[in-house]
Structure 1
Amino acid sequence: MVELECLPYGAGQAGEGICLLVRMGPYRILLDCGLQDVSPLVVDAARSLPADLVLCTHAHLDHARGLLALHQAFPQLPIYASEVTTELLPFNWPELDPAQIPPFCQALPWRSPIEFQEGLTAELWPAGHLPGAAAFLLTYTTPQRTYTVFYTGDCFLSNSRLVEGFPLEELRGLRPDVLIVEGSYGTSRHPRRRQQENQLAERVSQAITEGYSVLLPTPTLGLGQELLMLLRSHHHFTGRDLNIWVSGTVAAACDAYIQLLPHLPTTVQNFAQHQPLFWDERVRPRVRRLHADPIGTAEELRTRDLQPPCIILTDATADLSQYCRPGNGPWLLMLPQQLVTIHSSSDEPSLAERSQRHRQLVLSQSRTVEKKLQAEIRAGRLAVETYLLADHCDGPGTTQLIHNLRPQHVVFVHSSPTYLSDLTSLDELHNRYHLHSPASGTVVELPVGETFLQPAAPETSYEGELTELGTVVTITLPDAITVDTRWHNFADTGLIEARWQGEELVLRGLPQWELLTQGSDRPAPVTLDCCGNCQHYRGQRCWNQTSPLFDFKVAPEGYCPVFEPIHPESPSSISPLSNTLTGDLEGPNSDDEPELN
């Protein structure tokens, strides 16, 4: 009989939460419970406990939201987590009064093996990613041998503003029998964390300088607090006469972080000795709490000291249209790449769906709110962009973690099947470890100390032809590439961007949202005769009735013969960029007309 098995009730694919049942000999350990519906656990338990114990890695929704329902169904089932996680868990049920949530989760110490059953122990290690986030080392000892399983949960090697990274040095050469690791970003490669922060801070600073207010919807825990610390301490904002407003559960989570200050990194504790960690009316930029009462007219905004430009951090599920209204703009809506979609009752792509990059979390907006935001975009009062502030390992980080731990089996979870397939097909992993990426409901047997043939890696590369034809280059690929579910996103507009990465040429599909953003009212040099400096250019459209581009969407760097400058001193001797029509135009009022470049 195989001593180690893994059954994913939820493998973190297609928006589902993480919930893994690991069997080690006679014992069953439930790792996380991010299921929205715990009925599969209740049914499979058949009136008995679904596991001997539950271990929760951290307090994010996709890992913890099912714990309360699980406790209510099985009050005698022991549930364990780190001390910080036990304090943050109630944020998963904001609809409940905290007094209604029993203290069902027991706290465990760091780096200290705890024996739960005879021969079964667990040890917690900091995992980075979020305050209190833990990785678990499970050990099952028999007279014959010792079996080990290491589960990372969500893991991040780099230090962030409020969390120290995963202590890889302390665990190097651990050699567990099984490593269960997330593959959130697949094989993608990210810039260093500090570089990501600098890029984001620079973009926000630029938007504020241009007169935009910046709206940052975030999940309750983690990203919002990281952004707030970044905006407070970055040199682009230090001493700047600016108001940063925080509302909803993001603000409540800031209060919780303050209570957990002794558990935060030493640098953060030192910072808090000299000035408040978050709320500060004296030091610029000022950080203030924005209460949940509705925001109304522009006059109400002025009385509330919300004069633009300002920065607002709010819940990912908040009604964003209450901020983005006529008379208090313009606004820059910045969405983290983690956000999945804006739900609507229609099949029409929503704001975040256009980016095709947002994953893991859901930004819920009603259809009414969606229409309001679309109207603001068309009027040129709202621009939408995405940014990257990663809190998971990228591809090189994941492979670095695996090579340092040196397990026999690697089980990948917590990503789309295509991203996990990319990881399992890497030669550097495939040739050294037994790789698995199970779907929900699929039992994975993990034989230890036995030799078996590794299945062939899935095909992820495609051979094509390259042809140079005068002034253009044509790349031809087989149609088998279109079978991959990512092809639809890649080929969304039929336009691609190519760039060199070392000696390799990388191709990237340009989504609709990016084309719209490129056509937004961004500033152009005043010395350039272009549509962006024309007095008839408003809301990404030409309103000059004598122009052949009248009522069409046009790029700000475009030009037509009836150009009339906003700035009279603009010289006409500069060579303009001409507009060329591409694609099929369906008329001036078509919703699907292409932008003129």
Structure 2
Amino acid sequence: MSDRLSVSSGVDMGDAASGLECLPFGVHHDDEGVCLLVRMGPHRILLDCGLADTSPLVRGLKKPARRESSLPADLVLVSHAHPDHAKGLLALHKAFPLLPIYASEVTSKLLPLNWLDQHGEQVAPFCQALPLRSPIEFKDGLVAELFPAGHLPGAVAILLTYTTPERSYRLLYTGDFFLSNSRLVEGLRLEELRGTELDVLIIEGSYGTSRHPHRRSQENQLAERINRAIAEGSSVILPTPTLGLGQELLMLLRSHHHFTGRDLDIWVDGTVAIGCDAYLELLPNLPSSVQNFARHQPLFWDERIRPRVRRIEPKQRPEIGNSCIILTDFTADLRQYCQPNTGSWLTLLPEKTNIKINDEYSLLCPVETYLLAQHSDGPGTTQLIHNLRPQHVIFVHGSPAYLADLTSLEELQNRYHLHSPAAGTLVELPIGETFIQPAAPETNYEGELTELGTVVTITLPDAITADPRWRQFADTGLIEARWQGEELVLRALSQRELINQNSDRFIWSDVDCCGTCRHQRGQRCWNPASPLYNFKVTLEGYCPAFERNSDKSADL
């Protein structure tokens, strides 16, 4: 394989005559951000800087490191303002104030929301704004052009072209992209990039090969769940990042038929509220449908038209409740809202989030997940690749298992040179040379199916347990099966789904079982008179010491 470990100080990428190379400093595995150093001929371009620790970019440079020749790159191009792509930019700028940093106009205005924690320190703007769809020549033969990428206002795909007397080399970095239109952002337009004659595509693989329902279906499912919770007298907490998802949710709640005109309070707290203010400053850059909406009523803050949208003042937090909706920060202590005498609560988290909910909070407030995708799914990812037809595809931004799923697709293996490098692994990108694609890792497992009366048993080899996803899949030992066309899809049932009394999938109220027993908490039996005392129990289980739980709000 053409990927090899870089044993340099982190910025030496070899002889300029060797063509194209990519050295990732971060590829968004686990909690690391995205930061990629690309070399095209003699030019070094840093794509994004989402590193919490920028020392790898500084290490090995001569000191004092303030001359242009001592910079870690010739320039920095930023795809969008989310922290996993931008949080290291301020530290990078402080270390190398002469290093030019560029982004779209909207992104340059949103970037300061990544350093709100500077304790009153005034940070002068340092990111230069670039126009969309306008080629800009930065160095001799090096041209960059930005195309809207969906996902977040201001997010762009970056097309780099390096021209020599012999030929032109083209590399496209998608950043985070989304082909579908969302409430506040139009999706990436394939027709703008089709026919680009790419050599290299650096693309995100956040969802691996997963297939998602249509965007409107996702929205309707979420709105229906919130509507049902409110109808049952519960309040709903929606923790979100500062930018993007929170504002999308707010627009959904304001415009969905379940909520328009409804006597309901929507409270917005923390940096999510600051993000809303930032969006209001960008109104001319938002889709025309959003601008039309704003001509008739305020986009976010509105106490006149129902549902009312209000900010939360700190002193109000312990008093808010009784059938309302709260949007707050991912990092907020959610217990400050779920106070006594404020009614029952439901917390809704986006799928595949890194937010940690402790068991104590889960017992106080049921937690469920929802899908409102902010990135393209597997079919969308492969659709973009097939439309652009590059020689090389580099996958970043996703768990190693999900990226391995993409590099294992036969439809990609047969047509492209695929790479999924770890941080610190140099990827050499020979153009027009013979390249033998290494064998894909084994991802299919052959098993046996046996029918025994009323039971069907599926047996799989134990090699499947070597995948890091197996532990989570097998956590409860329970699965759900459903048909998808002619294929049967198996899905693991998580602890969160099982202990959530209000889950869509499990309604135990009419059944005498552990799920409705007053002694069952946290999926364990706490009745000393029961033979199951102190043992983990399944919710459909039963013992002679069963006593019905009369408190419908109790947690399972």
Same fold (TM over 0.5): yes
Q: Is the alpha carbon distance of 1:547 and 1:91 closer, same or farther for their aligned partners in structure 2, counting shifts above 3 Å?
A: same
Compute the displacement of 1:372 (Å): 4.7
- SS of 2:380's equivalent in the other structure is helix
CA contact (8 A) 1:520 1:540 kept: no
Determine the C-alpha separation between the residues in 2 that align with 1:563 and 1:272: 55
* Equivalent residue number for residue 311 of structure 1: 325
* Equivalent residue number for residue 398 of structure 1: 381
Compute the displacement of 1:173 (Å): 2.1
Compute the displacement of 1:133 (Å): 0.4
- SS of 2:327's equivalent in the other structure is strand
Give the partner amino acid of 1:373.
Y
* Equivalent residue number for residue 108 of structure 1: 130
Compute the displacement of 1:394 (Å): 0.4
* Equivalent residue number for residue 373 of structure 1: 361
* Equivalent residue number for residue 201 of structure 2: 179
Gaps of 5+ in 1: 343-350, 352-369, 377-381, 568-590
Say how many residue pairs are matched.
Answer: 529
Determine the C-alpha separation between the residues in 1 that align with 2:61 and 2:515: 68
Q: State whether structure 2 residue 498 is matched by structure 1 residue 482.
A: no
Q: State whether structure 2 residue 448 is matched by structure 1 residue 465.
A: yes
Q: Is the alpha carbon distance of 1:216 and 1:523 closer, same or farther for their aligned partners in structure 2, counting shifts above 3 Å?
A: same
Compute the displacement of 1:417 (Å): 1.1
- SS of 2:222's equivalent in the other structure is helix
Q: Which moved more, 1:465-474 or 1:57-66?
A: 465-474
Determine the C-alpha separation between the residues in 2 that align with 1:154 and 1:59: 10
Q: Is the alpha carbon distance of 1:371 and 1:196 closer, same or farther for their aligned partners in structure 2, counting shifts above 3 Å?
A: closer
* Equivalent residue number for residue 36 of structure 2: 20
Specify which of 244, 250, 264 is matched with residue 286 of structure 2: 264
Q: Which moved more, 1:424-433 or 1:513-522?
A: 513-522
Q: Which moved more, 1:547-556 or 1:229-238?
A: 547-556
* Equivalent residue number for residue 237 of structure 1: 259
Q: Is the alpha carbon distance of 1:5 and 1:499 closer, same or farther for their aligned partners in structure 2, counting shifts above 3 Å?
A: same
CA contact (8 A) 1:215 1:334 kept: yes
* Equivalent residue number for residue 206 of structure 1: 228
Q: State whether structure 2 residue 401 is matched by structure 1 residue 418.
A: yes
Determine the C-alpha separation between the residues in 1 that align with 2:71 and 2:463: 46
Compute the displacement of 1:371 (Å): 6.2
Specify which of 132, 137, 142 is matched with residue 120 of structure 1: 142
Q: State whether structure 2 residue 184 is matched by structure 1 residue 170.
A: no
Specify which of 313, 326, 343 is matched with residue 329 of structure 1: 343
Specify which of 79, 89, 110 is matched with residue 67 of structure 1: 89
Determine the C-alpha separation between the residues in 2 that align with 1:31 and 1:127: 15
Specify which of 225, 244, 264 is matched with residue 222 of structure 1: 244
Q: Is the alpha carbon distance of 1:120 and 1:533 closer, same or farther for their aligned partners in structure 2, counting shifts above 3 Å?
A: closer
C-alpha deviations, 1:347-375, integer Å up to 9, x for none?
Answer: xxxx3xxxxxxxxxxxxxxxxxx465145
Determine the C-alpha separation between the residues in 2 that align with 1:81 and 1:308: 43
Q: State whether structure 2 residue 494 is matched by structure 1 residue 506.
A: no
Give the partner amino acid of 1:501.
Q
Determine the C-alpha separation between the residues in 1 that align with 2:120 and 2:392: 41
Determine the C-alpha separation between the residues in 2 that align with 1:521 and 1:327: 26
- SS of 1:340's equivalent in the other structure is coil
CA contact (8 A) 2:368 2:503 kept: no
* Equivalent residue number for residue 54 of structure 1: 76
Q: Is the alpha carbon distance of 1:558 and 1:518 closer, same or farther for their aligned partners in structure 2, counting shifts above 3 Å?
A: farther
Compute the displacement of 1:295 (Å): 3.1
Determine the C-alpha separation between the residues in 2 that align with 1:111 and 1:174: 13
Compute the displacement of 1:455 (Å): 1.2
Q: Is the alpha carbon distance of 1:491 and 1:523 closer, same or farther for their aligned partners in structure 2, counting shifts above 3 Å?
A: closer
* Equivalent residue number for residue 570 of structure 1: none
Give the partner amino acid of 1:339.
T
CA contact (8 A) 1:465 1:475 kept: yes
Q: Is the alpha carbon distance of 1:530 and 1:317 closer, same or farther for their aligned partners in structure 2, counting shifts above 3 Å?
A: same
Determine the C-alpha separation between the residues in 2 that align with 1:564 and 1:431: 59
Compute the displacement of 1:2 (Å): 2.5
CA contact (8 A) 1:519 1:554 kept: no
Give the partner amino acid of 1:121.
V
CA contact (8 A) 1:84 1:263 kept: yes
C-alpha deviations, 1:30-55, integer Å up to 9, x for none?
Answer: 00000000000001444310000000
Q: Is the alpha carbon distance of 1:555 and 1:460 closer, same or farther for their aligned partners in structure 2, counting shifts above 3 Å?
A: closer
* Equivalent residue number for residue 18 of structure 2: 2
Q: Which moved more, 1:413-422 or 1:534-543?
A: 534-543
Specify which of 437, 448, 461 is matched with residue 431 of structure 2: 448
CA RMSD of aligned residues (A): 2.9
Q: Which moved more, 1:493-502 or 1:515-524?
A: 515-524
* Equivalent residue number for residue 576 of structure 1: none
Determine the C-alpha separation between the residues in 2 that align with 1:44 and 1:205: 56
Compute the displacement of 1:167 (Å): 1.0
CA contact (8 A) 1:529 1:563 kept: no
Determine the C-alpha separation between the residues in 2 that align with 1:482 and 1:534: 33
C-alpha deviations, 1:510-547, integer Å up to 9, x for none?
Answer: 22111111577999699x57579989799799999999
Determine the C-alpha separation between the residues in 2 that align with 1:219 and 1:338: 13
* Equivalent residue number for residue 5 of structure 2: none
| Percent identity (aligned) | 68
Gaps of 5+ in 2: 1-16
Compute the displacement of 1:14 (Å): 1.6
TM (norm. structure 2) is 0.89
Give the partner amino acid of 1:107.
A
Determine the C-alpha separation between the residues in 1 that align with 2:396 and 2:511: 53
Alignment of 1:69-148 (within 5 A): 69-96=91-118, 100-148=122-170
Determine the C-alpha separation between the residues in 2 that align with 1:312 and 1:236: 17
Determine the C-alpha separation between the residues in 2 that align with 1:126 and 1:2: 31
Determine the C-alpha separation between the residues in 2 that align with 1:412 and 1:562: 53
Q: Is the alpha carbon distance of 1:445 and 1:308 closer, same or farther for their aligned partners in structure 2, counting shifts above 3 Å?
A: same
C-alpha deviations, 1:359-413, integer Å up to 9, x for none?
Answer: xxxxxxxxxxx4651451xxxxx21100111010100000000011111110000
CA contact (8 A) 2:517 2:546 kept: no
CA contact (8 A) 1:522 1:532 kept: no
Q: Is the alpha carbon distance of 1:220 and 1:210 closer, same or farther for their aligned partners in structure 2, counting shifts above 3 Å?
A: same
- SS of 2:387's equivalent in the other structure is helix
CA contact (8 A) 1:337 1:387 kept: yes
Determine the C-alpha separation between the residues in 2 that align with 1:480 and 1:35: 35
Q: Is the alpha carbon distance of 1:563 and 1:27 closer, same or farther for their aligned partners in structure 2, counting shifts above 3 Å?
A: closer
- SS of 2:172's equivalent in the other structure is strand
Q: Which moved more, 1:499-508 or 1:201-210?
A: 499-508
Q: State whether structure 2 residue 27 is matched by structure 1 residue 11.
A: yes
Compute the displacement of 1:99 (Å): 6.2
C-alpha deviations, 1:281-338, integer Å up to 9, x for none?
Answer: 1111000011234733xxxx1xxxx341100000110110001123213100111114
Give the partner amino acid of 1:286.
R
Determine the C-alpha separation between the residues in 2 that align with 1:59 and 1:127: 13
CA contact (8 A) 1:294 1:322 kept: no
TM (norm. structure 1) is 0.83
Q: Is the alpha carbon distance of 1:341 and 1:288 closer, same or farther for their aligned partners in structure 2, counting shifts above 3 Å?
A: closer
Determine the C-alpha separation between the residues in 2 that align with 1:182 and 1:138: 17
Determine the C-alpha separation between the residues in 1 that align with 2:205 and 2:518: 49
Q: Is the alpha carbon distance of 1:23 and 1:206 closer, same or farther for their aligned partners in structure 2, counting shifts above 3 Å?
A: same
Alignment of 1:350-369 (within 5 A): 351=357
Q: Which moved more, 1:422-431 or 1:476-485?
A: 476-485
* Equivalent residue number for residue 41 of structure 1: 57
Determine the C-alpha separation between the residues in 2 that align with 1:471 and 1:523: 22
